[in-house]
Structure 1
Amino acid sequence: MAFALTAGLMWGLVFVGPLLLPEYPPALHTVGRYMAFGLIALPMAWWDRRELRRLTRADWTEALKLSAVGNLLYYMFLSSAIQRAGAPLPTMIIGTLPVVIAITANLRNPARDGQLPWRWLTPALLVILTGIACVNQVEFEALSRESAAERSRYFQGAMCALGAVACWTWYPLRNGDWMRAHPDRNARTWATAQGLTTLPLALLGYVVYLAWELASSPAGAVVAPLGPRPWTFVGLMAAIGLFASWVGTLCWNAASQRLPTALVGQLIVFETLAALLYAFLLRGTWPDGVALFGIGLLIAGVWGAVRIRPVREPVPTPD
């Protein structure tokens, strides 16, 4: 539980990165963060070189898949959602992950993990959806007064957030499977392995981004490789790469190794609450009564879902 809480506090930081540098496109936020993650993993790899040698080709392939979907693709969706719709809506959509992961885990392998009874889970889902609506009431009211183009951006952000939910439903299930299947492996080593496999993907993405910028810029225009505020960008990416990517992944791996997948997936609610806290602190405002009520509904809904225990079907005995 402590490892999952720490991971949530670290991951909440990624929701404020796109808000601190709104002039940077989501693609540059994504490749910048994961280039930093990969570079941080390089000295860690020397530290863990003996453990890394134990990884097989299948292990490295799994780490590459986890990095591509759970890191690059997820953060591309998330940063796009935040820049289009602001922080509260994507944060609350991501907040449905605990229940979504629990449902998916049960449907994926009910014989192994048991099944959450729908008559108990449905009320929790309805409470969470009501909480999302309450938190975003102010945004919805403001949106009704905006132009059609602004409304389109808002709903595009919501769709990107759903894409992020899909990526991060897949990631903890696959990552949890690996960690539970290898209880003798070090959680830090697996975090470093994911950082190492992320680095070439991020470098390739950065080359593609620069090529696109050069091709689409007017003739004679100067393209800044690190954007208009390079030192701020480098510092922010280094901080997010260290704390959110490496420390967050390490703590999540440690939690995944110690807890059932259906339970640890629901503890991502810590990320949602941390992200909401950071977003409102960055705005310099306190959520209004309706938003606070919505946050309370979110916590209550997830808490109710967490308390539901899977029911295992009896194994038929031969006659």
Structure 2
Amino acid sequence: MNYLSESAAGVSYGVAIRHAFEYLLSRYPEVFVIGQGLWSPWYVGNSMTELDKKFGKHRVIDTPVSELACTGLAVGASLAGTRPIVVHPRMDFMLYATDAIVNQAAKWSHMLGAQDAPAVTIRAIINRGGEQGAQHSQALHSWFAHVPGLRVVMPSTASDARDLLIAAALCNDPVMYIDDRWLYERTEDLAPVKELDLRREGPRVRRQGKDITLVGSSYSSYLCEQAADVLAAQGIEAEVIDLRVVSPLRPELIIESVRKTGRLCVVDGGWRTAGLAGEVIASVCEAVDSMRARPVRVTLPDAPAPTSRPLEKLYYPTKETVVQAALGILR
């Protein structure tokens, strides 16, 4: 397939990520991919199937188990003129690479007076559910969105999964690209690739509405879209805004929406305290003088993820959770 000029019907989120890798590796010789388990679908699902066979194991490099080593290598290689994409199959274990991400990649442009910057992309995969427990289920996007100098993107659709990964790899700044396995089977008809300038990307309205504003990112944005369908059956028009880029956060579109609806519900797959939902609400409250109801956030409880399947059903927000929160605001 010519991903530059042809559309594709019914492409899943996971396969769309693979399309992005194939697009980049076939057109940009300075791009290479490095990380653990890249030759194994058990680690990265269908998002990198047989890329090593097509482009060679010198371009798709499966490394020993050292998150810090492969990330540090990529940061250094990016300063030498390449565009590495580091893949961390679990965001939880990426914490071993925090020094390379937070103290090195995010700081070099500032410390070099903007004369150079590491054009490195760090792909962090969120894995949750399936009784995996507290050490295998974390979404830590709020941590990294807190760090100046690091762009953080969280696609919710197949088209964004493809196009934001391409944009991240072609951006001259360090970018954390976070994808969620719960979205891998979500499908969409894809238009031909149009290379985006990540510096210009921000939230998008996924659904127009006048009664309440629902805001999310990644899988939480998908929950908002599903909840809006349920609310529509009850005659309630919810406006759904997908953040897409959580750092730098650009709240202007959300503020405009809340001025129209007067009500705000923010859904986030992270914990409540010091989380993304609170940041979005604060940004809106600083700009909007009056609202029809107090804003509400739907998040994970401030507790580690359970291993028990019945407890998981209580722990993770669902579309029904979002619907009930929205109805509470509307009452």
Which bin holds the TM-score, normalised by the shorter protein? Answer: under 0.3
Q: Which has the larger radius of gyration?
A: 1
Larger relative contact order, structure 1 or 2 (CA cutoff 8 Å, min sep 6): 1
TM-score normalised by length of structure 1 = 0.26
More strand by proportion, 1 or 2? 2
User: When you count helix as a share of all residues, which structure comes out higher?
Assistant: 1
